[in-house]
Amino acid sequence: MIQNDTIIALATPSGAGAIAVIRLSGIDAVKLVSENFQSVTDGKKLSSQKTHTIHLGHIVDANKTMDEVLVSIFKNPNSYTGEDVIEISCHGSPYIQQEIIQLFLRKGCRMANAGEFTLRAFLNGKLDLSQAEAVADLIASDNEASHQIAMQQMRGGFSSEIAKLREELLNFASLIELELDFAEEDVEFADRTQFRDLIDRIIFVLKRLIDSFAVGNVIKNGIPVAIVGEPNVGKSTLLNALLNEERAIVSEIAGTTRDTIEDEISVGGIGFRFIDTAGIRETQDVVESIGIKKTFEKIEQSQVTVYLFDSEKGISDLKTIQIEIEKIKNKYPQKPLLIIANKIDKLDDNQLASLQEAIPEVKLLSAKTGFGVEQLTNSLLKLINTGALRNNETIVTNTRHYDALLKAFEEIQKVKHGLDSGLSGDLMAIDVREALYYFGLITGEVTNDDLLGNIFANFCIGK
């Protein structure tokens, strides 16, 4: 699997820009660039320059000068990939980018696959697997929370904890296996009290990490919030107010929104995905009824439901609204529900007071004036348990890690039961080995080509 041929790719986004960076990594990176580089300082040879230096000059092919560039040199092992790496910062015209890449492909480079630079970093021991995966998460992060989690994972917070426990467990595994060689003598090399203590610590850590996934998953993907209610109550107006742009069409005609409209914003560092839905009512209109069916699907898929009603109707026809609220509560008893009276700009203080009395949990809002919008986003934040995030605890966001943690947890439970019931050493050793296997999957001590292929295929080319 380990290859050190020289790979090349554009590291910056494709298209025109002020500057583009082309990256090469591999055994011939320095030599190839050196042969096609003319320093502004006469006679300066790139190949004899020190690592971590930058050089101004021209990329030339035969006698043709392609661009004035800056070349950065990183010699192995002190580079991102652990190999010799060259970064060429050229002018960001797509033509220049392609000309330079084509030149080095002709000279013997190979176009890098998605994530191949990071794959090499992993294979050369610069990163463990979960850190490598965090690189992709970091690039994909688009809000403060997902950024924070990815940074923490990249720095190794999570995998170093796992690696340390794995090490300790490995130690005990060897001792237990050693006992098997002395089965006749009935000795115990592995101190059972210490062993039990380690198992308890592992269970504690695994449980915390497994529980964190619920938070992590939500943060990574954005929290879906469905905005529902009868036609014309102001759902689309609220969406626009939340997003601060005219995203959805608003009109006084009931049934304006026929399909669902979604958009994401960051509130307090957490990504919320708001879903504006078609108003719920009995209708003969085929298109509208499809939209209404979708509304219920969206409630199912969302983490939080925001139920909006027209506060004037709250005064004139309270019963209907109370019935609606009960219906949603009965249908989705587990889902957090925020009840919002919209258009409160149309009510006077007495009416508002009686509305609040009738529906104690109601939140008052005017999507038109913006009153109550901030309070609504605050309520949403409170619903999401992000305590772990604020406390800077490790949060698991990766499904692959989650699966491995669950399996490891299962195996460790077996070990614990084994200890409690005085299971023989040979059987216990099997469970310990299984747990070790799943720990290793996370950090990459245990891998196979399929697994690596899957992980790195999701990276961008050039990373």
Ligand X SMILES: Nc1nc2c(ncn2[C@@H]2O[C@H](COP(=O)(O)OP(=O)(O)OP(=O)(O)O)[C@@H](O)[C@H]2O)c(=O)[nH]1
Between 139 and 249, whose beta carbon lies closer to ligand X?
A: 249
Strands 7-10 and 19-25: antiparallel
Between 143 and 236, whose beta carbon lies closer to Mg ion?
A: 236
* Whole-Å CA distances, 131 to 25, 97, 137, 443: 20, 30, 10, 8
Pair 88, 36: CB distance under 8 Å: no
Binding pattern for the stretch 334-373 against ligand X, x by CB under 6 A and - elsewhere: --------xx-xx-------------------xxx-----
Which among Mg ion, ligand X, none contacts residue 255 (Cβ within 5 to 8 A by kind)?
ligand X
Which among ligand X, Mg ion, none contacts residue 251 (Cβ within 5 to 8 A by kind)?
ligand X
Strands 64-74 and 363-364: unpaired
CA-to-CA distance for 207 and 212, rounded, in angstroms?
Answer: 8
Bridge partners of residue 261, in order along the sequence? 276
CA-to-CA distance for 58 and 257, rounded, in angstroms?
Answer: 58
Least CB distance to ligand X at residue 158 (A): 42
Angle between helices 399-420 and 192-221 (to 10 degrees): 160
CA-to-CA distance for 295 and 279, rounded, in angstroms?
Answer: 8
Between 256 and 413, whose beta carbon lies closer to Mg ion?
A: 256
Between 5 and 285, whose beta carbon lies closer to ligand X?
A: 285
Binding pattern for the stretch 229-268 against ligand X, x by CB under 6 A and - elsewhere: --xxxxxxx------------xxx-xxxx-----------
Which among ligand X, Mg ion, none contacts residue 449 (Cβ within 5 to 8 A by kind)?
none
Least CB distance to ligand X at residue 223 (A): 21
Least CB distance to Mg ion at residue 223 (A): 21
Least CB distance to ligand X at residue 363 (A): 13
Binding site for Mg ion (CB under 5 A): 235-236, 256-257
Between 305 and 398, whose beta carbon lies closer to Mg ion?
A: 305
Pair 415, 75: CB distance under 8 Å: no
Between 144 and 312, whose beta carbon lies closer to ligand X?
A: 312
Which tokens belong to 374?
């901030």
**∠ CA(107), CA(113), CA(115), 5° rounding?**
125
Which tokens belong to 418?
């084994």
Residue of minimal Cβ distance to ligand X: 279
CA-to-CA distance for 279 and 260, rounded, in angstroms?
Answer: 10
Could you tell me where the beta strands, DSSP code E, fall in 43-184? 53-61, 64-74, 85-91, 110-111
Least CB distance to ligand X at residue 335 (A): 20
Pair 118, 48: CB distance under 8 Å: no
Between 202 and 233, whose beta carbon lies closer to ligand X?
A: 233
The DSSP letter of residue 185 is: G
Least CB distance to ligand X at residue 383 (A): 22
Least CB distance to Mg ion at residue 261 (A): 8
Among 157, 224, 279, 444, binds ligand X (CB under 6 A): 279
Which tokens belong to 348?
């006077």
Least CB distance to ligand X at residue 318 (A): 19
User: 161 — alpha (psi -120 to 50), left (phi > 0) or beta?
Assistant: alpha
Which among ligand X, Mg ion, none contacts residue 259 (Cβ within 5 to 8 A by kind)?
none
Residue of minimal Cβ distance to Mg ion: 257
Which tokens belong to 43?
């006679």
Between 172 and 307, whose beta carbon lies closer to ligand X?
A: 307
Is residue 375 involved in binding ligand X (CB under 6 A)?
no
Bridge partners of residue 366, in order along the sequence? 371
Between 81 and 342, whose beta carbon lies closer to ligand X?
A: 342
- Give the footprint of ligand X on this chain (CB under 6 A): 231-237, 250-252, 254-257, 278-279, 342-343, 345-346, 366-368
